[in-house]
Amino acid sequence: MNGAVKLHDGRSVGTAEFGAADGDAVLWCHGGPGSRLEPAWLDVEARAAGLRVIGIDRPGYGDSPPAPGRTIVDGARDLLAVADHLGLERFATVGVSTGGAYSLATAAVAPDRVSAVVACCSMTDMSYGPARSTMSPAHALDVWDAPDRDAAIVAATAAHGPHGEKLQGSDGVRTIICAEDRALFADAHWMGHAMAAFPAMFRWGLEGYADDRIADGTGWIDFDVNAIRCPVTVLHGTLDAMCQPVHAEHTASIVPNARLRMMEGHGHFSIEAFVIPTLKELLAGDHPG
C-alpha cells in the first residue's frame, strides 16, 4: 500500500507499507540513494514475522519533494509525524546505510516511543575520521567538499549519473561488492524489486542524495545518542566495501545498549536479509503499536 502523508508545514511525505497490516510497527529509513520501496523485497518475510514495515521517503526521494537545508533530526521529525498520522504510539526503526543515522536520531529524539533500532550496513557519525576516510571520493568526499548545495548536486550527479545509470554500468557497485552481494544481484526476486524502485530513487535527480550528504557531512551534531534508551543492534557484513566495518564498530561503541552483530562473508546488500530476524529478536516481549 502506498500513500502520501501531509505534514503540518504543508509538505508531503511518501510512504509504502509491507508485511502484516496489524503487526508490530517498524519505520524503515532507506539508504542513499533509496526510497520508501526499499523493503518491498522483504514483504513476505515481514508478514510471516508479524511486522508492519512502513517505508518512508526522505525529502528529495520518491513522493517527498526536496527540502534544502534539512538535517538528520528534521528527518526524524518526519518519521514521528508519519507515526502520529498512523496512530502509532510505539514502533521500532530500521536504518539502512545512510538511513542508520535517521533511525538512531528518531530513538534519541523520542526515546519513549521507539522500542528497538536496527542500524544495518549503516554509516556512523561522520565526524569520526577513521570511518570518514574510508568513504568513496566520488560518492561522498567530493559531495562533502562541495562549497554549496548546487555544487554538491553537481558532484553527486557526476558520481551516479542523472538517473543513477552509473550504478548499473561497468563502473558501478558490482566492481566492489562481495560474492554474497553478487549472488543477491543475480536473484530475480531481489533484482526485480530493486529495478522497480529505481525511478523513485532518482525522481528528483540527485537532490535527495546531495541533501543526505550535506546533512551527515558535519557529523551527528543535532542529536545525542546518549538519549537512546531502547535496545539497538548494529548489523553489518564483514565484507562491506561500501561502508566498511569500522562504521559499525564505532556506532556500537558510542550508542548505549548497542549490540554489534557482524555477519561473516556478507556485504552491503546481502546483510539486509538478516533485518527481519534481528527485529524479531529485539521485539520479543515488547509489542509496539
In the predicted structure, residue 12 carries a pLDDT above the cut 90: yes
Question: Where in the chain are the domains?
Answer: 2-283
Q: Tell me which amino acid residue 43 is.
A: D
Mean pLDDT of 14-29: 98
Q: Residue 171's pLDDT band (boundaries 50, 70, 90)?
A: low
207-216 and 72-86 helices, crossing angle to 10°: 110
Share the mean pLDDT of the chain: 95
In the predicted structure, residue 115 carries a pLDDT above the cut 70: yes
In percent, the amount of the chain with pLDDT more than 70 equals: 97
Give the pLDDT score at 138. 95
Type and span of the H or E element at 114: strand 114-120
Which sign, positive or negative, has the C-alpha torsion 16, 266, 93, 76?
Answer: negative
- pTM (two decimals): 0.96
The residue among 174 and 79 whose pLDDT is bigger is 79
3-state helix vs strand vs coil in the chain, percent to 5 = 45, 20, 35
Mean pLDDT of 82-90: 96
At 191-200, the pLDDT tens digits run: 999 999 999 9
Give the pLDDT score at 289. 34
Q: Residue 285's pLDDT band (boundaries 50, 70, 90)?
A: low
Mean pLDDT of 33-62: 98
Rounded Cα–Cα distance for residues 281 and 68 (Å)? 37
In the predicted structure, residue 286 carries a pLDDT above the cut 50: no
At 204-257, the pLDDT tens digits run: 999 999 999 999 999 999 999 999 999 999 999 999 999 999 999 999 999 998
Rounded Cα–Cα distance for residues 187 and 193 (Å)? 10
The residue among 284 and 114 whose pLDDT is bigger is 114
Rounded Cα–Cα distance for residues 234 and 237 (Å)? 10
In the predicted structure, residue 174 carries a pLDDT above the cut 90: no
Mean pLDDT of 266-280: 97
2-283 CATH fold: Rossmann fold (3.40.50)
Q: Give the other-Cβ count within 10 Å of 285's Cβ.
A: 5
Rounded Cα–Cα distance for residues 49 and 149 (Å)? 41
